[in-house]
Structure formats: C-alpha cells, structure tokens
Amino acid sequence: METKKVYLKQVKGLTLAAKGESNHWITMDGPEKLGGSDAGVRPKELILMGLAGCTASDVVSILQKKRVKLTDFEINITAQQTIEHPKVFASVDLEYVFYGKGIQPKDVERAIDLSTNTYCGVSAMLKKAMTINHTYRIVETEEETVLLTS
C-alpha cells in the first residue's frame, strides 16, 4: 500500500490553501455569505475537476498510443447533488468531446472504457458512492494541426 499526503492551511475564514506531494498549491474558498472570500474553487468542485483530470489524462494518453490525431479535447461534467445535508453527489454525467479528422468511435469507446474501468483511480473511488455516466461526441474538423501529441 502506498501512502499519499496533503497539507492544508487556513488562510483566513473559509479561505484555505492546500498542497500535495507534487508541491503545487491550490486555493479553496467559500462564498462571502458563509464567511469566505469567494477567492477559490469549492472543495466539491475539486472532486469533479479531479475526476475530469484523471480520466482525461488516461483517454488522451491511450488515444496518442493509438495514433489518433486530436485537434482538441474537452470534458463537460454535470453532477446532481442531493438537497439534504450532507449534500453529496448522487450522480455524475461526463461528456467527452473529441475534435479532429477521421476519429473512429471504436478508438474513443475503448479509451473511455479503459480509463473508467481500469486506470482512473478517481473514477474507481467515486463510482462506489454514486452513479457515473459517460457519453461522447466526435466533432469532425478540417484542421490538420494536432494540438495533443506526445
């Protein structure tokens, strides 16, 4: 088993700064009406960002190995949160959007499947607590410029 550590420091009120072993700081904060400065992302937003980042890095890496030429890539996430406290995510929908010329659905589907069922640890943790749905779109472009290469 591997141990991971994070350090968090209160800046002022609900404004918090945290860093992990990568030594990169991130600011979290709450809204002013609750004592925050509204100067950072909300902690639950970070969970969704972490999920997006984890699966995106897997998917892009897998597609690069398959020599799929993406000109752009994005993920749109929508989460449904419960109304009662503790307000948790009940479900999350990820929409992967691939831009490029001649991108094959089978390559995209395989990359998403490998990420969500084999490689993405964030997805593996979260799907134990909520439903995670995946869809994708391929947007055919005329551009030849490949932005995402290894």
Residue 23 falls inside a structural domain:
yes
- Averaged over 47-72, what is the pLDDT? 97
| One domain, residues 90 and 51 | yes
Residue 150 lies in a domain: no
Report CA-CA distances (Å) from 139 to 33, 85, 101, 129, 143. Answer: 41, 40, 8, 32, 11
Same domain, yes or no, for 95 and 132?
yes
The pLDDT of residue 92 is 98
**127 assigned to some structural domain:** yes
**Whether residues 49 and 110 fall in one domain:** yes
Domain count, the chain: 2
Indicate whether 149 pLDDT > 90. Answer: no
pTM of the model: 0.92
Question: Is there a single domain that holds both residue 33 and residue 48?
Answer: no
Residues 70-112 have pLDDT tens digits of 999 999 999 999 999 999 999 999 999 999 999 999 999 999 9
